[in-house]
Structure 1
Amino acid sequence: MQAISLFSGNRCFSCFVFSIALLATGCTGSPVPTRDLGADIDEVAATLIEQPLLHSTSIGVVYRGEAFIRHRGDMETGKPGPPTDATLYEIGSLSKTLTGTLMANAVLERRLDLDDDVRRYLQGDYPNLQYHGEPIRIRHLLSHTSGLPNMLPERANTVLADFTDQRTPRELNAIYAGYGKAEFFRDLHAVEIRQAPGKDYAYSSTGTELAAHILETVYKRDYESLLRGFVQESAAMTGLRIRPNEEEAARLAVGYHSDNPVPTTPMPLLPWGASGNVKATVPGMVEYLRFQLAGGPVVTESHRALVEFDPEFSIGYFWNIVSGDRLKGVYYAHHGGVPRSQCYIYILPKYDLGIFAITNQSGDQTAHAMEAAIDTLVKRVAAREATGQGASR
């Protein structure tokens, strides 16, 4: 089962996320704390890139107010050159949590309501965006319960069914060449909703793109400028881009798809880019971790469960909310994946801990290895807490 969250049709943000068996794979490590948390992070990063096909990794951590960034490995095979703080990474579906944050802000500003029919924000008639009279509402977009397809156009879902096929990036590029907002709305007219919205989880990047359109409508600004303005003002997060300029594109991380030894192309641009086209540096993501850990009204709202699927798994404003984990406590997480990178974000209030980890390789075992590394790091922090050690560098 693939764990590429931009494309996943499965209930959980990763098919491995609840498995304690992850600790047996890759970065197992010792639970005995070290004097230096930075050294622990460095060790976890070094062990992670020993996994097959992984070239490099960057990890950003905020622990009880202290920030740590580590880069390991070489971006390109046979070419010395590790990632740096200036490297611009494709963060894939972590982009959705940013969309959720903007939505939470819009709700608090009373610009929209979670129970609004999405058709209120669309031009033209969309009689198809309902099921037996029950419309798709904004809360359904945020919780992946709208019944909308994963991707539009729907033929992209066929290509992504075999994500690791080396032809996949090329075929995605062909599908999205010239595919903009007009084409999205054309295809949205043809969608068939086969179940009552709000009941069943069905991962949908289409829903996130539609959420971005709604935000543009209520704020009367294009999505990228709205996003960049909010995160810079509220989270001190700079350098975030959806459409990088020439200088920024030169800093975009090289990446590898599956077992292809040749670097692949970036994720093609989606109509709004809200579901998987955000690019950010690791220092920028560290500021996002700080923002999430600080709480505040917008973060608190975005972490509020909109639907509970079982006692251990809920969805907030695109955030996966996991409970019942004795080690981590209740935490908020998301996976991001595009054809040449995969990443994770974890917000763990139990330890006042935030983790962002990314690699420049994307295959069917990448998420598994990264989760093992993160679990090891959380175990190190838990051991540190148990012995009363601080967050020394």
Structure 2
Amino acid sequence: MHVTSMSVRNRRWLSCLLVSAALLAAGCASEKVPAKDLGTEIDDVAATLIQQPLLHSTSIGVVYRGKEFIRHRGDMETGKPGLPTDATLYEIGSLSKTLAGTLMANAVLEHKVSLDDDVRQYLQGDYPNLQYKGEPIRIRHLLSHTSGLPNMLPERANTVLADFTDHRTPGELNAIYAHYGKADFFKDLHAVEIGRAPGKDYAYSSAGTELTAHILETVYKRDYASLLRGYLGDSAAMTGLRLTLSDDEALRLAVGYHSDNPVPTTPMPQLPWGASGNVKATVPEMVKYLRFQLANGPVVKESHRPLVKFDSEFSIGYFWNIVAGDQLKGVYYAHHGGVPRSQCYIYIVPKYDLGIFVITNQSGDQTARAMQTAIDTLVEKIAEREAAANAEAYR
């Protein structure tokens, strides 16, 4: 969804904020040891987050130096007491892309594909349009959002998303994707026009992630859902990931709200492969993902490798945003996810052996910034703990 690119657009604003926060943390950390345990502080951050306008509830998962913390706050439905729980299934939106990136990193290491492969070698039929002046779209361009493909296919979905907060948006998306399958995607892919050389300019593309899933299906000769469950089940013990839900599982799907609409809205419609935004997971499953990322095995390390460096502070790996030059966080890896009734963030911060997953069951134009503030607060508190522990060690 389009809201994922907020993390890129807000990057410089965040850098200024975080430098100030880092200086404050450094000045305060040596004066006192944090009074509260970290679990309580995470709970406090969750409580503060849902005080923001329109936010109903939140769940936060943290892995910090091997310790796990999960906190839930708020009521899922307005006027109906009821916390989210460890069993609640959430739509993680475009965080799904990092899972696709992980599978592609594994495929690269297994020599199933090369980053420089022309994507057309994995397509049936002719696609003379998927190039610009002889330069083809390559797999690395899909992963780094530099392919020149549109955000969504069909193109009319982008018109709907241009006014994301309009109350009609969820229903219009449902109508577009109600009978939109893989054959429709390929038909629309034939009509795409590439207006610039691939590999240079950032242009967020969920269509590129869907094409990535097709390539993975082609080389492994398995459907994407089974590839996802198989690899992450074996490598990260993530056995509960779902692209589609059974009737029983659907009962555990988080209720969610779009924009300022007081009436709960419908789930994200199913995309042809679902790789760009259809994964559902519980918070404990996402905590397993944080552990998997922090372990930094060969596949994770490959997925975090910069494929395109846009400037000294911002790069893209295998769908991961890579941010450098942050005094407080150091180099970190992040992604935002958003669907019409849920938004979330994942942050991997190696400097503190820290992973954070935050999700809300509301999706509006201020939701991402509210979650970023919550994450910044958590990182500040952990930085204070680290500084205090280091000061104590040298006494």
TM range (shorter): over 0.9
- With the length of structure 2 as denominator, give the TM-score of the two structures: 0.94
> 2:148·2:196 contact (CA, 8 Å) conserved in 1?
yes
CA distance, structure 2, for counterparts of residue 254 and residue 105 of structure 1? 34
From 7, 10, 20, the equivalent of 2:2 is: 7
1:57 aligns with 2:58: yes
Q: Which residue of 2 aligns with 1:90?
A: 91
Find the aligned partners of 1:167 and 1:34 in 2 and give their Cα distance: 47
1:161-180 alignment, distance < 5 Å? 161-180=162-181
State the secondary structure of the residue aligned to 2:7: coil
1:266-345, aligned counterparts within 5 Å? 266-345=267-346
Deviation at 1:8, TM superposition (A): 4.6
Asked if residue 108 in structure 1 is aligned to residue 103 in structure 2, the reply is no
Give the residue type in structure 2 aligned to 1:138. I
- Return 241-250 or 347-356, whichever deviates more: 241-250
| Cα distance in 2, alignment partners of residues 111 and 53 from structure 1 | 46
Q: Give the structure 2 partner of residue 381 of structure 1.
A: 382
- Is the partner of 1:152 in helix, strand or coil? coil
Q: Which residue of 2 aligns with 1:3?
A: none
The whole-number CA distance in structure 2 between the counterparts of 1:22 and 1:165 is 30
Contact 2:146/2:203, CA 8 A, preserved across alignment: yes
Q: Distance in 1 between matches of 2:371 and 2:200?
A: 31
Say if 2:265 and 2:341, in contact at 8 Å, map to a contact too.
yes
Letter in 1 for 2:9: C
SS at match of 2:2: coil
Mark the CA change 1:194 to 1:9 in structure 2 (over 3 Å): closer, same or farther: farther
Give identity over the alignment, percent. Answer: 79
In structure 2, C-alpha distance between the alignment counterparts of 1:65 and 1:155, rounded to whole Å: 45
1:183-202 deviation per Cα after TM superposition (whole angstroms, max 9, x unaligned): 00000000000000001000
Query: In 2, are the aligned partners of 1:14 and 1:335 still within 8 Å (CA)?
Result: no
Structure 1 outlier segments of 4+, above 3 Å: 20-25, 28-32
Q: Name 1:190's counterpart in structure 2.
A: 191
2:165 aligned partner, one-letter code: T
CA displacement 1:326-383 (0-9 Å, x = unmatched): 0000000000000000000000000000000000000000001100010000000000
Deviations 1:243-288 (A, max 9, x none): 1111111100000000000000000000000000000000000000
Give how far 1:16 is off.
Answer: 2.5
In the alignment, is residue 19 of structure 1 matched against residue 20 of structure 2? Answer: no
**Structure having the larger proportion of residues in helix:** 2
Q: For the Cα contact (< 8 Å) 1:93–1:275, is it kept in 2?
A: yes
Per-residue deviation, 1:22 = 5.6
Q: Which residue of 2 aligns with 1:78?
A: 79
What SS class does the counterpart of residue 212 from structure 1 fall into?
A: helix
8 Å Cα contact 1:22/1:368 also seen in 2: no
Establish whether residue 181 from structure 1 lines up as the match of residue 207 from structure 2: no
Counterpart secondary structure, 1:151: coil
Name the amino acid aligned to 1:7: H
Unaligned runs of 5+ in 2: 391-395
Quick one: distance in 1 between partners of 2:204 and 2:11? Answer: 16
1:175 Cα deviation after fit: 0.5
- Specify the code of the residue in structure 2 equivalent to 1:15: R
Distance in structure 1 (CA, Å) of the matches to 2:84 and 2:309: 39
TM-score of the superposed pair, with normalisation by structure 1: 0.94
CA drift at 1:155: 0.4
**Is it true that 1:143 corresponds to 2:144 in the alignment?**
yes
**What is the aligned residue count?**
381
Contact map agreement 1:146 1:197 (CA 8 A) in 2: yes
**Distance in 1 separating the partners of 2:299 and 2:35:** 35
1:237: Cα distance to partner? 1.1
Q: Are the equivalent residues in 1 in contact too, given 2:4–2:338 (CA < 8 A)?
A: no
Q: Please report how far the alpha carbon of residue 9 of structure 1 lies from its aligned counterpart in structure 2 after TM superposition.
A: 8.4
Counterparts of 2:388 and 2:333, CA distance in 1: 25
Checking the alignment, whether the CA contact within 8 Å between 1:34 and 1:40 is kept in structure 2 is no
Aligned equivalent of 1:204: 205
Secondary structure at 1:19's aligned position in 2?
Answer: helix
Q: Does 1:156 align with 2:151?
A: no
SS of 1:76's equivalent? coil
Name the amino acid aligned to 1:208: T
User: Residue 75 of structure 1 contacts residue 81 of structure 1 at CA under 8 Å; is this kept in 2?
Assistant: yes
| Alpha-carbon contact 2:210-2:273 (below 8 Å) kept | yes
